[in-house]
A = this chain, B = another copy of it.
Amino acid sequence: MLRTHNCGELRLEDATKQVTLCGWVQKVRDKGGMIWIDLRDRYGITQLVFDESKSPKAAIETARKLGREYVIQSVGTVVERYAKNDKMPTGNIEIDVEEIRILNPSIVPPFTIEDETDGGDELRMKYRYLDIRRNPVRKSLELRHQMLQQTRQYMDGQHFMEVETPVLIKSTPEGARDFVVPSRVNKGEFYALPQSPQTFKQLLMVSGIDRYFQIVKCFRDEDLRADRQPEFTQIDCEMSFITRDDILSTFEGLIRHLFKQVLHYDLGTVVHMSYDDAMKYYGNDKPDLRFEMQFSEIDDLVKGKGFSVFDDAEIVVGICAPGCAEYTRKQLDELTEYVKKPQIGAKGLVYSKYNIDGSFKSSIDKFYSQEDQQRWADRMGARPGDLMLILSGPVTQTRSALSELRLKMGTALGLRTRNVFKALWLLDFPLLEWDEASQRFHAMHHPFTSPTPEDMDKLGTDPGSVKANAYDLVINGVEIGGGSIRIHDKKLQQQMFNALGFTEVEAKKQFGFLLDAFEFGAPPHGGIAFGFDRLCAMFGGSDSIRDYIAFPKNNSGRDVMIDTPSTISQEQLDELSIALKQEEKA
């Protein structure tokens, strides 16, 4: 080792020890007679000190040559600091330097390597290797490391077998777009990169590996939104001989384990909520349960009083914002503007202030009496000092808009704090959704998702009403994972394909090898997958998964550090028997 200790571990009890440290120069302060250097590595910062009156001349000369981010090796004695710094763990000591050696100089970095940096996003991505030197980024990667270890520890402890499934697989026309890989040996043919190991994990169940897991890279060639990556990591799992509740308890256990081990946080009860309830009470299949503010439908209380907006509405639904009765005209106007934005889509906002004195003040007082509004307040559980916010219109759109308003109010009232976590299982999704364009049902998850046991018989008669035996884990309004019990029964599978409008031939063509495998004794099984990047971001208190990926790509799917994708040589194209298509020139 080129060092005896790292830069984060020396304490007062190490005083008088001779030590050798290595690291990067964070800062040099040269006060003439004295020089101080902050030496940084992965573990912390230790202060080196040089005193012109006693340190070796050579050491002082070298110290004066140092610049930011030089890599040095330094030998010296641990001494107690005169001016202690209780903000850093090593703040009670410093190193009285005897020897110093430049291991490598550095040119001036393009941004400051400090917790708060002056580097913009694009610059930090280009020099990601310097960005990672910064505490916040390194800590994100350390968190991810811990999440990886703890996930596997839990899964191994539960007798899940880790199996690596292939990366070079087959392109399937369903789902998102595949990335493909031309085969040189099999000319004209292509591999595809997996969007998930779905079929392989189901095959593993057929193989008798009754508990499988893997933390695995997946790939989707989608048009990227702000927080999507073309390659991402998921915790992928599948179990045999289980029911839905076995999956829920096993993976609630995983999440609870991670919170406990990584954040030392005791995750409370994980609520079970049906899709219908989530839509009815939160307008959203990913409700943020850090705060209440449930929806109250008041159609029966408002109709027939001459207010045509409500009279004509499919639904009239409100929330109660606690303590907001004092909102000013301006604040209320802002809320109205907000819900009327095209991406929110409400036509307008009705409010009713439940004043401290017990009176009501609403935007539609001429239609509704104080008693009317008292009834709304009773329904919504509003108390004096609260503000009722009411939207109306078509059901889906109105719920969705009110959901956004609820989240906005939650944020405004400080009810969505990063260090509180509320998890729920969202259950009983619809199995199918009707697609107007193709005039047929589509699978909401995938065609192997089983109906709930209660709804098995309705698949032939009333497919639209069938619930899926599927589940999502939602934490703080973010979908963290999801999965389903799969169909393992041939007859049921055929019914499902019928409902989806597939012929047997089409089904065989698209899912042939899985259907073949199912002929040889497929056990009842189900599984789940968690978005690992997102899970890490949530644990780290960030909205951006990019912070938790060592070398992420930008919104164009480009790695600006290594500058890829990039052109390849004509020889490579020739070997692969492919050609670039020339774009038509205008």
Residues on A close to B: CB < 8 A? 1-3, 6, 22, 24, 40-42, 69-71, 73, 103-107, 109, 127-130, 132-133, 138, 141-142, 144-145, 148-149, 152, 156, 161-171, 173, 177-193, 199-200, 203-204, 206-210, 217, 219, 221, 223-224, 230-231, 233, 240-243, 246, 488-489, 513, 517-524, 549-551, 553, 556-559, 561-569, 572, 574-581, 583
Contacts A106-B521, A161-B142, A517-B129 hold; do A168 and B208 have CB atoms under 8 A apart?
no
| Cα distance, A111 to B393, chains bound together (Å) | 63
Mind listing 29 A-B residue pairs with CB under 8 Å?
A2-B243, A40-B208, A41-B208, A42-B161, A71-B521, A104-B488, A104-B518, A104-B522, A129-B204, A142-B161, A144-B162, A144-B164, A145-B156, A145-B161, A145-B162, A148-B162, A152-B152, A167-B217, A168-B557, A170-B564, A171-B566, A171-B568, A171-B572, A178-B572, A180-B182, A185-B224, A513-B563, A578-B578, A578-B580
Q: Is the CB of A580 within 8 A of B581?
A: no
Q: Is the CB of A190 within 8 A of B566?
A: yes
Q: Is the CB of B145 within 8 A of A243?
A: no
Q: Is the CB of A551 within 8 A of B165?
A: yes
When C-beta atoms are compared, the residue in chain B nearest to A166 turns out to be B551
| Cα distance, A179 to B166, chains bound together (Å) | 15
Q: Is the CB of A185 within 8 A of B129?
A: no
Q: Is the CB of B161 within 8 A of A129?
A: no
Residues of chain B contacted by A168 (CB below 8 angstroms): 179, 219, 230-231, 553, 557, 559, 564-565
Q: Is the CB of A169 within 8 A of B204?
A: no
Interface centre among A106, A144, A182 (most CB of B within 10 A): A182
| Cα distance, A575 to B580, chains bound together (Å) | 12
CB distance from A199 to the nearest CB of B (A): 8
Q: Is the CB of B521 within 8 A of A104?
A: yes
Q: Is the CB of A206 within 8 A of B583?
A: no
Residues of chain B contacted by A70 (CB below 8 angstroms): 521
Q: Is the CB of B203 within 8 A of A520?
A: no
Q: Is the CB of B233 within 8 A of A164?
A: yes
Residue from B40, B187, B488, B562 in contact with A170 in the complex, judged by beta carbons closer than 8 Å = B562
Q: Is the CB of B567 within 8 A of A188?
A: yes
| Cα distance, A187 to B581, chains bound together (Å) | 9
Residues of chain B contacted by A199 (CB below 8 angstroms): 562
Q: Is the CB of A567 within 8 A of B167?
A: no
Q: Is the CB of A1 within 8 A of B204?
A: no
CB distance from A374 to the nearest CB of B (A): 52
When C-beta atoms are compared, the residue in chain B nearest to A489 turns out to be B104
Residue from B69, B104, B145, B186 in contact with A556 in the complex, judged by beta carbons closer than 8 Å = B186
Q: Is the CB of A3 within 8 A of B129?
A: no
CB distance from A246 to the nearest CB of B (A): 5
Residues of chain B contacted by A576 (CB below 8 angstroms): 180
Q: Is the CB of A208 within 8 A of B132?
A: yes
Residue from B145, B177, B553 in contact with A163 in the complex, judged by beta carbons closer than 8 Å = B145
- Ordered nearest first, which 5 A-B pairs have the shortest CB separation? A106-B521, A132-B207, A189-B565, A170-B564, A183-B565
Q: Is the CB of A2 within 8 A of B241?
A: yes
When C-beta atoms are compared, the residue in chain B nearest to A582 turns out to be B577
Residue from B163, B183, B203 in contact with A141 in the complex, judged by beta carbons closer than 8 Å = B163
| Cα distance, A100 to B192, chains bound together (Å) | 42
| Cα distance, A454 to B40, chains bound together (Å) | 30
Q: Is the CB of B559 within 8 A of A166?
A: yes
Q: Is the CB of B167 within 8 A of A242?
A: no
Q: Is the CB of B193 within 8 A of A181?
A: yes
When C-beta atoms are compared, the residue in chain B nearest to A189 turns out to be B565
Q: Is the CB of B22 within 8 A of A241?
A: yes
Residues of chain B contacted by A569 (CB below 8 angstroms): 173
CB distance from A133 to the nearest CB of B (A): 5
Q: Is the CB of B166 within 8 A of A231?
A: yes
Interface centre among A127, A572, A577 (most CB of B within 10 A): A572
